[in-house]
Structure 1
Amino acid sequence: MTSAVGKLLDRVPPLTSLPLPRSVDRRWLTSHGPVSELAPAPEGLKPILGDPGAPVIGHSLSFMRFGQEFGLQRFAEFGPVSWMGAFGNRIITVSGADATQAVLTNKDKAFSQEAWQFFIGKFFPRGLMLLDFAEHHMHRRIMQQAFTRDRLTGYVAQMGPTVRDGVRALAADPHPRLYRALKQLTLDIASRVFMDMPSGHDADAINRAFVDAVRAGTAIVRYPVPGGRWAAGLRGRRTLEAYFGRNLAAKRRHDGGDLFSALCHASTEDGERYTDEDVVNQMIFLMMAAHDTSTITSTTAAYYLAKYPHWQEKAREESLRLGDGIPDIEALESLQTLELVIKESLRLVPPVPTMARQTVKDTELLGFHLPRGMMVSVSPTANHFDTAHWTNPHEFDPERFAEPRREDKAHRFAWMPFGGGAHKCIGLHFGMLEVKALLHEMLRHYEWHVPAAYTARWDYVSLPVPVDGLPVHLVKR
């Protein structure tokens, strides 16, 4: 190490007691360009240290391959605020409970959602997650009318038969790739609850278009090359716009129980409503935000239930006590063991591994200087594995969320799978209910197992998914 680089690294702040990752080849993770300062810092502030990684792509492939372990390694090496090259940009990475709290609560309005435009703006324009400040507040107030208690009760009633039929259909394959099976089922649920669309050819076409739009966001080649992800995503977006545009007038005339109808008729106390264009944009955004996160969460929880059969049996006993009827919202909320398992799964594998922001002015974060116009990536990884907040954080231990331990209360941002601040996930309660409904039906109908030596490996090309699709042995009860 040169003396110049050594001096730079000497200025890295002391780390917390965060454990280092245990299961990766560190030689691959730590191969990077020379450590340097992002930009000169004003007097009294610290410069941000980091490195560019490989030419053009930077550390993109490192993150996609190692995800969580890569984030932990960067935190251990550089501390809570650093920079790296990725996707052709210099990106400031923010980790740790105090740093993420400062960014996500955004008290001085220095951080905007503009960074999301780079990743998904072409496919989910004007979605709630991409809006800022007063405009975001207005759109969120309207959308909140689609997630009231009465609406959630109706969504649960709608999804129940689809969930039960879909879970029963899993019996056709005793050795499924569970992620793929659950992805299809959550797409069917989204079609039914969001659009009141039954399964069939039209639903399959909409589902394919939606998947293409989601996958395009992390394309390395960000140009509509024929056959590429970007081109497929643009085509998927056009398909979705055409579908919602064709059906919007009918939804305006009749207030049904689906989310599409709810957005068409949502209104604040001040009479603010969505335009037709708003409804289309928010519907496509909500399909993205709700579907993938529910698929990943249900898959992750199913994996840990397979890996730890005593927890599977404990959750099953609770589900069987509900009887044979399709559970309503109160019944699902009563499944406390399942809720502990889901929360621990969200801690270990958060379905949204990064949250993008952009600085709209020079600002300060934990004594570091952040220049205007920088892309900022906020990650829950370090927060979820910090021994300052969690006991043995690499272990699966759902009891950490139960009284009296409640380790998630150690810091407001110790556990943040749904983000935080003004942009905290608006559908988090619906998502928990959907995942509970899926796992409840699985527990009633099956036992499932993985080999004792099996450990899932997660691919972060888009959002975390099991590389092998999560093969399980499914036994009908």
Structure 2
Amino acid sequence: MAVTPVTAARGATTAAIDRISTTLRERMPPLTAWPLPGAVDERLLKQRWPARELATPPADSGLAPVLGDAGPPLVGNALTQMRFGVEFGLHRFERYGPVSWTGAFGQRIVTLTGADATQAALVNRDKAFSQEGWRFFIDRFFHRGLMLLDFDEHRMHRRIMQEAFTRDRLGGYVASMGPALREGIRAWPSSPRLYWALKQLTLDVATRVFMGMRTDDETREINRAFVACVRAGTALVRFPVPGGRWRAGLEGRKRLERYFAANLPAQRAGDGDDLFSALCHATTPDGERFSDTDVINHMVFLMMAAHDTTTITATAAAYYLAKNPEWQDRVRAESLALGDDHPDMAALDSLTSLELVIKEALRLVAPVPSLSRTAVKDTEVLGHHIPAGSLVSVTPAVNHFDPACWTDPHRFDPERFAEERREDKSHRFAWMPFGGGAHKCIGLHFGMFETKALLHELVRSYRITVPRDYEVRWDHVSLPVPVDGLPVHLQPV
């Protein structure tokens, strides 16, 4: 079809709108994160909408209905939840108990809060809950990633992928990330926006460790594509309008597919020690292997998971170290005692104070605050009737503040994870930053090693400070991100 001046101008206008929208998304906080007077915030959070039953339980079942509310017209409780995050979840927990429902994204979503309700969904003994809930939010952007697969297919893919996360493989990943982390951190300015500096660094490391590639300008474009995909999952307008988050996510997914597809033949032909190569060559004793399409889908998902969750955890841990200098001094002393060599897994395991801080940061700022499921048949949780087809949200971030499991849960207290206390053992699902059940994060050990290695390099090089009266505010639109990027000052040690 011929391109007329009108269609060319229309295309140029759309492209310009997209460029402007991308700039705004990257430089401005979302509306849900803008500061409001305290009284207004209080009214928004505690606004009570009429409570209603989700569905009538079957006659003679003895089950109770799930109670909840739809929230404001059109948007439901989505914006309130995005603004207040854990605080919103705790407010609902107090009002409705461990099983409730909320209106958001044009859906009625059953919310399971607390360790017992979480256990019912994630142990999933009668296979009543599927990963279909994740598909509603992120399938268009992380299609057929491991987290989105169910039952036998999930077990088969996880069995193959496990070959990429053996201890020998992890040792190779740790060895290759050390130089990249030290080089990247020492190049930072003295007053960075720490979240964005860490995000670029973890993507650089993921590119090097996962793909065996050095950093170049293309990785910055890939980073923007990942950000667009993650944020698109909670778009209120779920249609590709120019300038919208949904459209940006779809374009980001296409960019990532092209990137991995272009590099896949070389990975198949080679024998590298990076994750991309490991997935290309992973074979179970029964001869099961990934297709090219499987490898691309898993790489898109794993690259996102590897650098996004590590960035959030390292940002939160660095913030709490800055606010608690006595812990920063304690962590630094252990790191300096290791000397100047890049630490291997055994050395990282010896950083016990740093591990306590990381675990507490994971509790206070869960990098994946909720887990989505769908009820594939009528079922019950804690005596409440959940009808087939219900979208279900499990809320580990709220569990992390349940006073039934934690002492003074809003206080930064890494010692709660020390052997003599182990508050995380108060319930199997009290602390679950890596998920739980059959879908527990396959890369959790890699994530802990990378976060330890990153913070080790950071504290041995710099003293991290923030103004005494500074308090971070988190944007909960998708995964938790500091609204201002977390400005810090880095003083060389």
Query: What's the counterpart of residue 198 of structure 1?
Result: 214
Counterparts of 2:135 and 2:48, CA distance in 1: 27
Match of 2:414 among 392, 398, 408: 398
Distance 1:194 1:346, change over 3 A: same
Counterparts of 2:391 and 2:239, CA distance in 1: 20
Match of 1:454 among 455, 470, 479: 470
Q: Is the 8 A contact 2:68 2:101 kept in 1?
A: yes
Match of 2:172 among 154, 159, 164: 154
Deviation larger for 209-218 or 296-305: 209-218
User: What is the Cα deviation at residue 179 of structure 1?
Assistant: 0.8
Q: State whether structure 2 residue 132 is matched by structure 1 residue 114.
A: yes
Q: Identity over aligned residues, as a percent?
A: 68
Counterparts of 2:178 and 2:40, CA distance in 1: 41
Deviation larger for 91-100 or 216-225: 216-225
Q: State whether structure 2 residue 457 is matched by structure 1 residue 425.
A: no
Counterparts of 1:217 and 1:364, CA distance in 2: 27
Query: What's the counterpart of residue 293 of structure 2?
Result: 277
Query: What's the counterpart of residue 175 of structure 1?
Result: 191
Q: How does 1:175-324 map to 2 (within 5 A)?
A: 175-324=191-340
Q: Is the 8 A contact 1:193 1:259 kept in 2?
A: yes
Q: Is the 8 A contact 2:200 2:220 kept in 1?
A: no
Query: What's the counterpart of residue 131 of structure 1?
Result: 149
What amino acid sits opposite 1:222 in the alignment? R
What amino acid sits opposite 1:213 in the alignment? C
Distance 1:24 1:54, change over 3 A: closer
What amino acid sits opposite 1:199 in the alignment? T
What amino acid sits opposite 2:150 in the alignment? D
Q: State whether structure 2 residue 178 is matched by structure 1 residue 163.
A: no
Q: Is the 8 A contact 2:472 2:486 kept in 1?
A: yes
SS in 1 for 2:187: helix
Q: Is the 8 A contact 2:49 2:71 kept in 1?
A: yes
Provide Cα deviations, 1:369-399, integer angstroms capped at 9, x if missing partner.
0000010000013321122221111111101
Distance 1:316 1:106, change over 3 A: same
Q: Which runs of 5+ in 2 are unaligned?
A: 1-37
Query: What's the counterpart of residue 145 of structure 1?
Result: 163
Query: What's the counterpart of residue 118 of structure 2?
Result: 100
Q: State whether structure 2 residue 481 is matched by structure 1 residue 465.
A: yes
The runs of at least 4 consecutive aligned structure 1 residues that moved more than 6 Å come to none
Counterparts of 1:214 and 1:379, CA distance in 2: 18
Match of 2:348 among 311, 332, 350: 332
Match of 2:385 among 349, 353, 369: 369
Counterparts of 2:435 and 2:309, CA distance in 1: 12
Q: Is the 8 A contact 2:66 2:385 kept in 1?
A: yes
What amino acid sits opposite 1:328 in the alignment? D
Q: TM-score, normalised by structure 2?
A: 0.90
Deviation larger for 350-359 or 445-454: 445-454
User: What is the Cα deviation at residue 238 of structure 1?
Assistant: 1.1
Counterparts of 2:175 and 2:413, CA distance in 1: 32
Q: State whether structure 2 residue 96 is matched by structure 1 residue 70.
A: no
User: What is the Cα deviation at residue 87 of structure 1?
Assistant: 0.8
SS in 2 for 1:306: helix
Q: Is the 8 A contact 1:80 1:99 kept in 2?
A: yes
Distance 1:329 1:450, change over 3 A: same
User: What is the Cα deviation at residue 31 of structure 1?
Assistant: 1.7
Q: Is the 8 A contact 1:72 1:381 kept in 2?
A: no
User: What is the Cα deviation at residue 268 of structure 1?
Assistant: 1.1
Counterparts of 1:24 and 1:345, CA distance in 2: 29
User: What is the Cα deviation at residue 26 of structure 1?
Assistant: 3.6
User: What is the Cα deviation at residue 24 of structure 1?
Assistant: 9.2
Counterparts of 2:259 and 2:227, CA distance in 1: 15
Q: Is the 8 A contact 1:24 1:69 kept in 2?
A: no
User: What is the Cα deviation at residue 27 of structure 1?
Assistant: 2.2
User: What is the Cα deviation at residue 232 of structure 1?
Assistant: 1.5
Counterparts of 2:65 and 2:157, CA distance in 1: 37
Q: Is the 8 A contact 1:290 1:431 kept in 2?
A: yes
What amino acid sits opposite 1:153 in the alignment? G
Deviation larger for 415-424 or 379-388: 379-388
Counterparts of 2:307 and 2:236, CA distance in 1: 23
SS in 1 for 2:409: coil
Q: State whether structure 2 residue 43 is matched by structure 1 residue 30.
A: no
Counterparts of 1:285 and 1:132, CA distance in 2: 16
Match of 1:55 among 64, 73, 98: 73
User: What is the Cα deviation at residue 211 of structure 1?
Assistant: 2.0
CA RMSD, 1 decimal: 1.3
User: What is the Cα deviation at residue 196 of structure 1?
Assistant: 1.3
Q: State whether structure 2 residue 363 is matched by structure 1 residue 344.
A: no
Counterparts of 1:163 and 1:118, CA distance in 2: 36
Provide Cα deviations, 1:110-162, integer angstroms capped at 9, x if missing partner.
00000111111101111100000000000000111111101100111111111
What amino acid sits opposite 2:133 in the alignment? A
Q: Is the 8 A contact 1:32 1:52 kept in 2?
A: no
What amino acid sits opposite 1:118 in the alignment? F
Counterparts of 2:409 and 2:237, CA distance in 1: 37
User: What is the Cα deviation at residue 32 of structure 1?
Assistant: 4.1
Q: Is the 8 A contact 1:32 1:54 kept in 2?
A: no
SS in 2 for 1:218: coil
Counterparts of 2:175 and 2:253, CA distance in 1: 29
Q: Which runs of 5+ in 1 are unaligned?
A: 1-21
Deviation larger for 254-263 or 203-212: 203-212
Counterparts of 2:403 and 2:107, CA distance in 1: 32
Counterparts of 2:39 and 2:448, CA distance in 1: 30
Distance 1:352 1:276, change over 3 A: same
